[in-house]
Structure 1
Amino acid sequence: GKWACKCCQLLVQEPAAPQVFDNALPTPGLQAHTVISRFVDHIPYYRQEQINARTGVRIPRSTLAAWGGQTGAQLMPLHEAHRAFVLASRIVHADETPISLLDPGAGKTKKAYMWAYARGAFEPEPGVVFDFCAGRGGKYPCEFLTGWSGTLVVDAYSGYDAALALDGRSTAYCLAHARRKFDELVKANASVVAAQAIQRIAWLYRVEADARDLPAQQRLQMRQERSGSLWQELHLWLQLERTRVPDGSAIAKAIDYSLNHWAGLGRFLLDGAVPIDNNYVENRIRPWALGRRNWLFIGSQLAGERAAVVMSLLQSAKLNGHEPWAYLKDVLTRLPTQLNSRIEEMLPHKWKPAD
């Protein structure tokens, strides 16, 4: 409100509450709604513009996009703290998925990648962080994982080799990837051996189902008692079957994949905190696959980086059981006055609604 004194001609105005966007019209609730619609509900900005217009609120899509980008920029300090939290885990999952990036000079899109890194599947405090990169080369995980040591759970993509070559790091390969190569042959009725491999792998997964809720040490003990012999039998059986199938055949390639990565595939038998596969982070990266079907492409490198910031926090909030709109609205309300020394209080695994 504003007040004017008739006697001294002074204008007095009540100080405005601190906002993430200085001198901006949108409230934290509207900002959160716009970002949630884009990154959780996967609604493109042009459709949000149409939806808003039906209620008499006309906000150009360019304005909505600017709000989304500014939100990502303002959340950067929180994102950096969240990244440190994720990389504090001794077990980290990693995966990547292609994202179309607008290439204005060429008049079309080019392929970029969204990399995902998640805390171990058995961690009591979950978290995932995304990193938007122009390519799929090994330099990207190398740079992101600087200073980290532990076990990296990945598929057998060679791009991770450079990152895993450093001391203090070990590899756990994804058994689900090995299984899929046999499963493709089973679905095509192309191999009896593949069906037998699927059955043997299923026995291992039954043990994992029983051990899922146990502490790491007890889980490791159950694996060694029940899965150890199954794993050895599978190895001997694969070696025997490999001698019976012709080189270059589809079943030979499926068997070779498992045998060539056997040590990494069996890492779960040495550490109870290591999962048997990488499905955990694959599920975390799925929203990007859903989103790109709707908004089709990322407008720029900067937009991709800011989208990664927003999505990291929102997906982690969901992992920790929070309603994403309530979380983001509260964070955007408190962020302008939050001390940097207390920024971790707003991380998804620590956040509590304001009183």
Structure 2
Amino acid sequence: MQALHDLKDEDLQGLAPEAIAALAQQMLRHLRQQEIEIRFKDAKIEKITFQLARLKAWKFGAKTEAMSAEQRRLFEETLAEDESSLQAQLEQARGEPAAGAKDDTQTERKPRRKPLPDHLRREDHHHEPDNTNCPSPMCGRPMVRVGEDISERLDIVPAEFFVHRHIYGKWACRCCECLVQDAVAPQIIDSGMPAAGLIAHTMVSHFVDHLPYYRMESINARSNVHTPRSTLASWSGQGGAALMPLYDAHKRFVLSAQVLHADETPVAMLDPGRGKTKRAYVWTYARGAFDAVPGVIYDFCVGRGAQYPVAFLGPDDDGHGATAWRGTLVRDEYAAYDKVMVAQPGRIPAGCLAHARRKFDELLRDGGKSAVAAEALQRIAQIYRLERELATLTTGERLARRQQDAKPLWEDLHAWLRLERSRVPDGSSTARALSYSLNAWTALTQNLLDGDVNVDNNHCENQIRPWALGRRAWLFAGSELAGQRAAVVMSLVQSAKLHGHDPWAYLKDVLTRLPTHLNSRIDELLPHLWQQPAG
């Protein structure tokens, strides 16, 4: 059809009228086809533009605020996929180059993404013109290389299995008939196949990435490596047992904090006798939210009774000279904590403002329009806004600002709560929400007396999140022992993550060193003291 456009008047001279008519009909059909394609393209662009606008409305709309954290995370991931897909379709419909196909040498638009980490291995691919002579017809001389532009693209090679070959030379004295050979280095699993790195990888995949063993078995099989799920479980079991002395030392470190956060979450545990699962609990203890050296430890228990935290915090002697914990405990108003507080003298309760707020938030959601709930949320929001400003201050500065700025807000809130409580009948939802804060008032305001105490227990709830993610993947703990082993591993790797360590690098080094490490120096392997080995 392009040839028709190139025709000139002189080209048409001498053509028969029938030929000219045929060319005109051909041109007309082509124009109609172009018009149809343009209308179709415009309609497609309009549709995609509308879908993009709707996605953005969903993304920033108020309805997303009603989602739970998990729902919102899944929604945002799906939204990102959809938005990228629609944007690519829109660029394709408009005939624009895809974002990834644009010239990397353009300097007018700087990329916003962060530079790729320096420690990643680089593979250089050199691209030079086939002909380096000047393309000008009047020149043709060889050109001089004056620089280069570099663009980087991130790639990955799936997990690579490799084999350590330990070759022990044998040396013999023919006259003395003696044989000398280097001793075999002790390993976590002495007579087994896995090295420390593979044991660490298995434990991280299961306890950090929450992969069930049967999935890990199929993943390894893609590399033609046969690792039955029972073998993987055995490796994790032996690795967890080796970490027990380190877990005990970590417990002593966490419980040395003067401010401690505590919370518990349910986890299903298999009950083989009944062929069902029953409810067990993971108790979480974290050093204070403002502590310069963070740490968290988990305790897997078969129940939620007060005897479990009392036993964990309260023994006078654990065989290592540790005494019962004393300090300020940030927790919610679950009744079991009352027994924990009186189990040892010197324990101070601190409340959770987030739990108090939650009562009013539930009242507003379930009860519709509640002026009391709306007012309470506004007053609590003022306290939180101030606390965000104080987060980076020192303990003394934070306490001084709380006495000066936060205390009046708390006093106004207290007076308002008592006034509203006197106006509502007993037994109502509003009365229960008001009474929760009033009954816990002394604990809720402990932060006004100690700058190291946070206003809520969200710090501890964030440390429980790995268990919430894990129980959705592996569904239940196979036994009480398996739950306790998970608590050991997750206590160490979660604390390592709090200090910015890679969980696999940490566990690999620890499992390598533990067989020959002196127990008297076990603290050197704790997450807050561990140093990445050179090289």
Asked if these proteins are the same fold (TM beyond 0.5), I'd say yes
**Distance change >3 Å, CA 56–CA 256, structure 1 → 2:** same
Provide the C-alpha distance between the structure 1 equivalents of 2:265 and 2:512, rounded to a whole number of angstroms: 33
Q: Which residue of 1 aligns with 2:260?
A: 92
Task: Say which of 404, 418, 421 aligns to 1:225.
Answer: 404
Match of 2:334 among 132, 157, 164: 157
Indicate the larger mover: 329-338 or 241-250.
241-250
Partners of 2:169 and 2:455 in 1: CA distance: 67
Report the more deviating stretch, 82-91 or 188-197: 188-197
Contact persistence 1:69–1:307 (CA under 8 A): no
User: Which segment drifts farther, 200-209 or 238-247?
Assistant: 238-247
Number of aligned residue pairs: give it.
355
The residue correspondences of 1:133-172 to structure 2 (distance < 5 A) are 133-146=301-314, 147-165=324-342, 166-172=344-350
Distance 1:2 1:217 in 2: 61
* Counterpart mapping for 1:21-36 below 5 A: 21-36=189-204
CA distance in 2, matches of 1:195, 1:139: 38
Contact residue 298 and residue 487 of structure 2 kept, 8 A:
yes
1-10 or 69-78: which moved more? 1-10
Partner of 2:359: 181
Larger fraction in strand: 1
Quote how far apart the aligned CAs of 1:123 are.
0.6
C-alpha separation in 2, matches of 1:36 and 1:161: 36
CA shift for structure 1 position 247: 1.9
Partner of 1:243: helix, strand, or coil?
A: helix
Superposition deviation, residue 16 in structure 1: 2.2
SS of the residue aligned with 2:511? helix
Q: Deviations over 1:251-278 (max 9, x none)?
A: 1110010011110011111100000000
Residue 293 of structure 2 corresponds to 125
Say which SS state the counterpart of residue 257 (structure 2) adopts.
coil
Indicate which of 409, 432, 435 corresponds to 1:253: 432
Given the alignment, which residue of 276, 281, 304 partners 2:483?
A: 304
Paired position in structure 2 for 1:269: 448
Indicate if the aligned counterparts of 1:2 and 1:12 stay in contact, CA closer than 8 A. Answer: no
- Report whether the alignment pairs 1:342 with 2:521: yes
* One-letter identity of the residue aligned with 2:234: A
- Give CA-to-partner distance per residue, 1:189-216, whole Å, 9 cap, x none: 2411101100000000111011101111
Question: TM-score, normalised on structure 2?
Answer: 0.65
Q: Which amino acid aligns with 1:181?
A: K
SS in 2 for 1:101: strand
Q: Residue 424 of structure 2: SS of its match in structure 1?
A: coil
- Cross-structure match for 2:382: 203
Give SS of 1:116's match.
strand
Q: Would you say the 8 A contact 1:3–1:11 is kept in 2?
A: no
Q: What letter corresponds to residue 252 of structure 2 in structure 1?
A: A
Give aligned-pair identity as a percent: 61
Matched, 1:291 2:459: no
CA RMSD in angstroms comes to: 1.6
Deviation per CA, 1:89-128: give whole Å up to 9, x if none: 0000000011111111111111111100000110110000
Gapped regions of structure 2 (runs ≥ 5): 1-166, 315-323
Give the Cα separation in 1 of the matches to 2:311 and 2:221: 44
Q: Determine which structure has more spread, i.e. the larger CA radius of gyration.
A: 2
Matched with 1:193 is 372
Shift of 1:246: 2.3
Residues 9-64 of structure 1: CA deviation (Å, up to 9, x unaligned): 98765432221112111011101100000111111111111111111111111111
Once structures 1 and 2 are overlaid, which stretch shifts more, 269-278 or 62-71?
Answer: 62-71
Letter of the 1:163 counterpart: V
How many angstroms apart in 2 are the aligned matches of 1:228 and 1:6? 84
**Larger mean Cα displacement after TM superposition, 181-190 or 78-87:** 181-190
* Partner residue, 2:498: 319
Kept in 1, the 8 Å contact 2:220–2:227? The answer is yes
Q: Per the alignment, in what secondary structure is the counterpart of residue 115 of structure 1?
A: strand
Question: Any gaps of 5 or more consecutive residues in structure 1?
Answer: none
Evaluate the alpha carbon distance shift between residue 48 and residue 203 of structure 1 in structure 2; reply closer, same or farther with a 3 A threshold.
same
Question: Whole-Å Cα distance in 1 between the matches of residues 495 and 173 of structure 2?
Answer: 55
Q: Does 1 or 2 have the higher relative contact order (CA < 8 Å, sep 6+)? A: 1
